[in-house]
């Protein structure tokens, strides 16, 4: 993942970062030892910066690491870095565009020592992953679809122009643009302007807690209830199944219909006879008793006439005690 470097702003304390993210610490000391080559009055840190924490972490190249006196360095493409720090500048900041800034307090680190670290960061924005839009019609029709995304679009395919797609739709779901090129669906991704939260009422969440070995069965059953066909289910499950299965248990909630409007809205001409939009949000959960929840209920739609279906989703990092 490549991120543009922006100016460092030291805003989040070590303590508040840990509390907010639920981690015991945003870095791990892999090793430490005295090094005679380190100049007097300084210590050295090196290691790797990651996006995420646990099994799903990825290295972050081109990250800015800076001390409180603005002496700093960049990580390389593999997230590796090395930096000498004086004993008068033991507050170190890390920042990336689109990534939560954090402040690391190394006041307990000892001069003359070399510390090898793993540093963990998270997204400042929730990412809308792979929203795809299918369209079917019993006879060929011309369609104009306007997308209003509440955030910053990072990718669309086919490329959207003035927030609009124009295409012909067919009974088999093939979408044909003005140049005659065919697509199985419309695609977009982006960074949401506001953080997503699970819907709740008086402390009770709406969703399901699913164990790792039940994820596929749950998704197949739920998507069938929501009137998605086998191809659409396969597209959905092969994308989200591996991400959800990286955890032993997940809490899952679907934003359906009008609830999807907190992500994006669609203006479609002509108006579809049937419209179904679902957006999955999920989070790892270790203790099923940590939240009070009520299982969501789903209902199908008809798929006759001009029908449009959409799915997308986000993994979010807070549920239960971290969110209340």
User: What CATH number does residue 25 fall under?
Assistant: 2.60.40.1120
Percentage of residues of the chain with pLDDT beyond 90: 56
User: Tokens 């549920």 map to which residue?
Assistant: 319
pLDDT at residue 10 in the model: 26
Per-residue pLDDT, averaged over 153-176, amounts to 94
> 46 and 151 share a domain?
no
The answer to whether residues 89 and 222 belong to one domain is no
- Around 275, how many Cα atoms within 13 Å sit in the side-chain half-sphere? 14
Task: Evaluate whether residue 5 is within a structural domain.
Answer: no
State the pLDDT confidence band at 215, using cuts at 50, 70 and 90.
Answer: very high
User: Distance between CA atoms of 270 and 184, rounded to whole angstroms?
Assistant: 20
Q: Where a domain ends, among 76, 93, 121?
A: 121
At 127, is the secondary structure helix, strand, or coil? strand
**Tokens 């999807």 appear where?**
260
If 0-12 CB within 10 Å is exposed, 13-18 middle and 19+ buried, where does residue 79 land? buried
Q: Residue 262 pLDDT more than 70?
A: yes
- Judge if 114 and 236 occupy the same domain: no
Last residue of some domain: 98, 121, 144?
121
pLDDT band for position 20 (cuts 50, 70, 90): very low
Check whether residue 141 and residue 105 sit in a common domain. no
Residue 145 lies in a domain: yes
Ramachandran assignment for 26, one of left (phi > 0), alpha (psi -120 to 50 degrees), beta (any other): alpha
Q: Which domain holds residue 103?
A: 14-121
Instruction: Flag whether pLDDT at 124 surpasses 50.
Output: yes
106 and 27 both lie in a single domain = yes
260 in helix, strand or coil? Answer: helix
> Mean pLDDT throughout 294-319?
88
Query: So what's the pLDDT on residue 251?
Result: 94
The model's confidence at residue 324, banded by pLDDT at 50, 70 and 90, is: very low
**Of the segments 50-59, 60-69, 230-239, which one has the largest average pLDDT value?**
230-239
Q: How confident is the model at residue 15 (pLDDT cuts 50, 70, 90)?
A: very low
Model pLDDT, residue 107: 85
Contact between 255 and 279 (Cβ < 8 Å): yes
Mean pLDDT of 102-119: 90
The answer to whether residue 9 sits within a structural domain is no
Say yes or no: 308 and 162 in one domain.
yes
Residue 259 within any structural domain of the chain: yes
Q: How much is the average pLDDT of 309-322?
A: 75
Q: Residue 82's beta-bridge partner residues?
A: 46
* pLDDT at position 1 over 70: no
pLDDT at 222: 96
- Residue 90 pLDDT class (50, 70, 90 cuts): confident
Average pLDDT, integer, range 74-99: 84
CB burial of residue 63 (10 Å; 0-12, 13-18, 19+): buried
Quick check: is 287 in a domain?
A: yes
Q: What is the mean pLDDT of the chain?
A: 84
Whether 58 and 196 share a structural domain? no
Lowest mean pLDDT among 15-29, 193-207, 243-257, 300-314: 15-29
Instruction: Tell me the C-alpha distance between 168 and 29, whole Å.
Output: 57
Q: Tell me how many domains the chain contains.
A: 2
Pair (40, 89) in one structural domain: yes
Q: Using a cut of 0.85, tell me whether the model's pTM lies above it.
A: no
pLDDT at 278: 97
Where among 121, 144, 174 does a domain terminate? 121
Q: Of all residues in the chain, what percent carry a pLDDT higher than 70?
A: 86
């Amino acid at each position: 993942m490549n991120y543009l470097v922006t100016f460092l702003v030291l805003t989040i304390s070590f303590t508040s970062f840990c509390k907010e993210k639920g981690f015991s610490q945003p870095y791990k000391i892999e090793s430490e030892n005295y090094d005679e080559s380190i100049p007097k009055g300084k210590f050295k840190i090196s290691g790797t910066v990651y996006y995420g924490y646990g099994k799903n972490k990825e290295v972050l190249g081109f990250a800015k690491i800076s001390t409180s006196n603005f002496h700093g360095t960049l990580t390389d493409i593999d997230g590796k870095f090395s930096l000498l720090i004086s004993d008068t500048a033991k507050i170190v900041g890390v920042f990336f565009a689109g990534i939560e800034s954090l402040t690391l307090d190394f006041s307990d680190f000892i001069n003359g020592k070399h510390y090898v670290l793993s540093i963990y960061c998270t997204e400042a924005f929730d990412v809308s992953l792979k929203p795809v839009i299918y369209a079917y019609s019993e006879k060929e029709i011309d369609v104009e679809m306007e997308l209003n995304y509440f955030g910053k679009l990072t990718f669309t395919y086919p490329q959207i122009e003035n927030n609009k797609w124009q295409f012909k739709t067919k009974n088999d779901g093939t979408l044909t643009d003005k140049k005659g090129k065919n697509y199985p669906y419309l695609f977009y991704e982006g960074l949401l302007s506001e953080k997503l939260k699970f819907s709740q009422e008086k402390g009770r969440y709406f969703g399901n807690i699913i164990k790792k070995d039940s994820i596929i069965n749950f998704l197949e059953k739920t998507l069938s209830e929501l009137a998605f066909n086998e191809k659409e289910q396969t597209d959905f499950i092969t994308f989200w199944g591996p991400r959800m299965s990286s955890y032993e248990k997940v809490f899952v909630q679907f934003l359906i219909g009008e609830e999807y409007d907190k992500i994006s809205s669609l203006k479609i001409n002509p108006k579809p006879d049937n419209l179904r939009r679902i957006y999955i949000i999920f989070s790892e959960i270790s203790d099923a008793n940590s939240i009070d929840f009520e299982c969501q209920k789903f209902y199908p739609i008809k798929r006759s006439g001009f029908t449009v279906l959409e799915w997308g989703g986000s993994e979010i990092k807070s549920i239960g005690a971290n969110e209340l």
